Structure 1
């Protein structure tokens, strides 16, 4: 397994990504990247801008910048610490020695500001590479390791600072190239065994050949003794390093765009969550299966998935009461609790039926789900009956790495809503249980539903990260299915468009920011809402209020809306008809001047 597949598993990948145009900004290392990428992907345009100091980038129009899928910035470490660091011994003797950390931070700030100018102007998705920490012992003595005298420590500290510095920019993300280098092994490619420490590039196996008969001695040999091939002295795997860097770019793009995102992981129990069968192999008087190794890793992985806002639950053929009673027998130490899993389905029904029920309760489609089961028959049965679901679990030594490192289980930013998702879903289940015991009218009146609506005027708005997440991950209640990049928001606002977001509370819980509506003049461009609040008529109340705002803003008596049918957006296809609009053409709707729309009197809407 090469390092790109090791660090960035492809097991959950469904959708292929092909970039049309990518911009690289950096030193000669970035130039090497571009040359190799052009050879590997001739259908993609790769542009390169040499960037070795804090100079202005060439002027580009907004349209030209928007033509790129992303830009990759590689700030040269040599420029950050300056060439003065090469004569580091002089600095040790100086009466006013250079503080390498402070110099590095100042240069990072200046170079990052210049390198991110396209991002600042247009919001283009930007990936910033961190620095590769030198290998070997760089400190002047053993007692100086991990002190300010240790150049490796300095560079690690600057990597930390760089990670914080990029947070001052929108749509900018760190590419942890140093992690790739560590996993692959720096000995196989990093040129600091030959060059100076801050050069931070790769060495090539053919370099030794250039020394044999160089131009300055040709046709005579260049050295008294012949030099062995560099590839035989040092095993060289620079191509593997390059491929991993390119895969990391693809992975970050997938995470940011939420491509093939997993929203729920459904676990089997026996031989998946622990070794053996709980009822058979954990009986008194028996020697129980041991828990070291992969079960401990799975248990920890469950909590990391929960941190990312991914729902974890169970679909198991077992006796539910016995599982709960004997849980602590198999789970030792008690790293996970039965209560960590949301609404588990443990019974003797077919697993596909249980998983279908789980997905319906969560308002999710099979494409958003991952099933983990050791039984190949169960995996294939579930995949056949629930097309689109992904399933893993054949090799317990692979499961944890896939769960934690696959891009499909990662997120770009954590919102308040994602950290509270479990709590809100538990309250949602409580709400639905009560709904079944009341008439719809009485149930809606009992909710005491309140909606708070506000306008988002720029990507600097505090709620923007949640809006970005919501638009790019919502499939079912999304009237067009469109995904928006950062520059799309700014372009919409620049054209005079308006963006409204809303949050919902009821007597059960606060659901947080659950929806966003885009309008342009008298046209409702897109309506997106989390399925957590479906069934409460929130969408009708919001639509009515948006109509009022659009009419006030544009003095138009007629409001238009359109719908684009997607594979998953069935729940929102009747939105405009339910809101009082008339369909004037296929998926085109109008609310006439004499029509004020439909009211949801049990919902209170407040513009804030």
Structure 2
């Protein structure tokens, strides 16, 4: 039979509803509701073999047919025509983490059920037509019923964000089963919710029936279990993203207002569990915490969780007590689905915003500073705290490495003068911004100029302005520019919650980015009037090169992941994958630490040599103008080579992207020759490598670099 021939599952059952048709697969616990018009298609194709065209011919909406076919195949409601469903079903049950070898009917009270919770999802024709249009993202959900309830919100939010999200849910089980599930699913992101009923039922629901010593003992057991579970998850994922739930505190305590009087009250139990989860996750760079506690702080426990009605340890979403079906109200599912996708975006650096451009008068402060000054800072009005909150949020972004610039109508001399005079009265000073554009030109022109000076595209920039006319003008003139809509008092929340403004774990390089960017701009000003070599020598550029150690892997991965201009192959990776790659024979990773007389730019270069080929090379845009790429490459190749002659035949590859123009001549500049049309370059004559001593930048080994070296 053809690989493109299908049939409906032998386990399919259907129920015609008032508002559609329900399709279900009992053994796999899958179900979906289609619009009522699909009843004829399902009826006519049941029991026969068909292809995609035949399916589309009978579909009530031809545009929706591919999306419906995909959704039914993912749920095993439609299978390949030659599929042995019974054999596949037996293999699937054996391979799933919840298959722990015991009879579920004889399982101890509180163990994980093997069932499907929630109402069946509905796939409308409109949603089916949009399915498959975006990037495919596979999400493996390992946990209880709460994680099941996130599946449909994940699909819906994914469509809104241009993602084709595909989910699989499994109940937790032995570590070996978890690893098998990861291998089978090959997920882009895996969500792990620690066992709620096996752990929290005994820890929370029985808290008032035992003394502090017993509570401490149960807490210690759960910590040990969490340590093992997180370690097993990290190992199974092999570097792909994993999200670990922590635990939201119940809205109520069995000890009431005297919870503080218990040595191990509920508040302490939750705090210690979450601190322990943080510690476990922190040691694995490819894991993140899904902070249920923060969601409760933002949305309210009563809106998300059920312990106002259900027992403490049930830990499900808020419920309608009049509905007897296993269900939850949708708020928690939506909140968690949003967190999962935000974590994935932050981890990947997808659509990262690198520059925030803010208006001044009416936005960063009330009124017109040149006319009104800053007396508002000394008051206690709502507007004072509102604008100080915006200042603080921008300061937080600066510490993360996001650059700040101003773009405002007015007189630059007057505005900056009164701002400088304000001294420490304001959280942000003019020096916290890399560039100022305060004039009477259209704001779109000023933002375009800022992008040109800093090397950004509009889609890497967020614009804040209180005036909707100015926002509309900038958005119309600069396609892709992110523009904050709504009132000024909503800007702070946007700045502090957007995943596009989170650049991973904080690093020293990120905290110094404003200073190093300013130094880059000063270099550009100095360049006029000097030839290239004289200019570089005047800067006293130093490149310290060393083989990477374990402490450098996170930063090296960040460079490979987030460098779009000076990157030879645009290779994306993570610290764990780098660690595995470096264990291969003949593989080495070098890092470069760059400084000049204007500043120390930190660890800004990474070069990976693997199997006799430079497979990845990345250099931060902050040091592109210092001509350090060739010296870094040569020093990295010579390290441990045993003489230049041993480098003969070494290769390097360029993978052309729409933004890596600065890197395309790297190997040619270093003496390699092009070896075909596929971007391969070969060093046929090592004598063509430039002599480091003849270059206008100083290259130091790690030993010569001293304690500040990489």
TM-score in terms of structure 1 length: 0.81
How many residues are aligned here? 556
CA distance in 1, matches of 2:155, 2:596: 55
Q: CA RMSD in A?
A: 3.4
Q: Is structure 2 residue 375 aligned with structure 1 residue 375?
A: no
CA distance in 1, matches of 2:339, 2:301: 17
Partner of 2:457: 365
Q: Does the 8 Å CA contact 1:80/1:104 hold for their aligned counterparts?
A: no
Partner of 2:620: 530
CA distance in 2, matches of 1:329, 1:139: 56
Partner of 2:222: 107
Deviations 1:117-167 (A, max 9, x none): 14225123110111121113x152534437535313421332233222311
- 1:75 maps to which of 194, 212, 221: 194
Q: Is structure 2 residue 220 aligned with structure 1 residue 128?
A: no
Q: 1:562 to 1:89 in 2, by over 3 A?
A: closer
Q: Does the 8 Å CA contact 1:125/1:486 hold for their aligned counterparts?
A: no
Q: Is structure 2 residue 603 aligned with structure 1 residue 603?
A: no
Q: Does the 8 Å CA contact 2:542/2:595 hold for their aligned counterparts?
A: yes
Q: Is structure 2 residue 332 aligned with structure 1 residue 241?
A: yes
The farther-off stretch of 536-545 and 435-444 is: 435-444
Partner of 1:6: none
Q: 1:85 to 1:177 in 2, by over 3 A?
A: closer
Q: Does the 8 Å CA contact 1:66/1:124 hold for their aligned counterparts?
A: no
Q: 1:381 to 1:483 in 2, by over 3 A?
A: farther
- 1:499-514 maps to which residues of 2 (within 5 A)? 499-514=589-604
Partner of 1:177: 292
CA distance in 2, matches of 1:571, 1:133: 51
Q: Does the 8 Å CA contact 1:505/1:511 hold for their aligned counterparts?
A: yes
Shift of 1:432: 2.9
Q: Is structure 2 residue 167 aligned with structure 1 residue 46?
A: yes
Q: Does the 8 Å CA contact 1:118/1:124 hold for their aligned counterparts?
A: no
Q: Is structure 2 residue 147 aligned with structure 1 residue 30?
A: yes
Shift of 1:593: 2.5
Q: Is structure 2 residue 312 aligned with structure 1 residue 197?
A: yes
Q: 1:416 to 1:199 in 2, by over 3 A?
A: same
The farther-off stretch of 30-39 and 480-489 is: 30-39
Q: 1:546 to 1:269 in 2, by over 3 A?
A: same
Shift of 1:351: 3.0
Shift of 1:487: 5.1
Q: 1:322 to 1:140 in 2, by over 3 A?
A: same
Partner of 2:605: 515
Q: Does the 8 Å CA contact 2:590/2:608 hold for their aligned counterparts?
A: yes
- 1:261-410 maps to which residues of 2 (within 5 A)? 261-279=352-370, 291-327=383-419, 334-410=426-502
CA distance in 2, matches of 1:68, 1:170: 17
Q: Does the 8 Å CA contact 2:554/2:575 hold for their aligned counterparts?
A: no
CA distance in 1, matches of 2:194, 2:181: 23
Q: 1:405 to 1:123 in 2, by over 3 A?
A: same
CA distance in 2, matches of 1:368, 1:379: 16
Partner of 1:541: 631
The farther-off stretch of 500-509 and 31-40 is: 31-40
TM-score in terms of structure 2 length: 0.71
Deviations 1:459-481 (A, max 9, x none): xx111221122222211111222
CA distance in 2, matches of 1:283, 1:178: 38
Q: Does the 8 Å CA contact 2:286/2:576 hold for their aligned counterparts?
A: no
SS in 2 for 1:532: helix
Q: Is structure 2 residue 542 aligned with structure 1 residue 427?
A: no
Shift of 1:25: 2.3
Deviations 1:219-244 (A, max 9, x none): xxxxxxxxxxx9xxxxx972121011
Partner of 2:670: 579
- 1:98 maps to which of 192, 209, 214: 214
CA distance in 1, matches of 2:271, 2:404: 35
The farther-off stretch of 482-491 and 341-350 is: 482-491
Shift of 1:332: 10
Q: Does the 8 Å CA contact 1:139/1:145 hold for their aligned counterparts?
A: no
The farther-off stretch of 586-595 and 471-480 is: 586-595
Shift of 1:516: 0.8
- 2:661 maps to which of 570, 574, 582: 570
Q: 1:434 to 1:109 in 2, by over 3 A?
A: farther
Partner of 1:446: 538
Q: Does the 8 Å CA contact 2:150/2:334 hold for their aligned counterparts?
A: no
Shift of 1:250: 0.2
Q: Does the 8 Å CA contact 2:318/2:332 hold for their aligned counterparts?
A: no
Unaligned runs of 5+ residues in structure 1 are: 1-15, 211-229, 231-235
SS in 1 for 2:456: coil
Unaligned runs of 5+ residues in structure 2 are: 1-132, 703-710
Q: Which runs of 4+ in 1 moved over 6 A?
A: 38-43, 328-332
Shift of 1:280: 5.0
Q: Does the 8 Å CA contact 2:304/2:317 hold for their aligned counterparts?
A: yes
Q: Does the 8 Å CA contact 1:181/1:241 hold for their aligned counterparts?
A: no
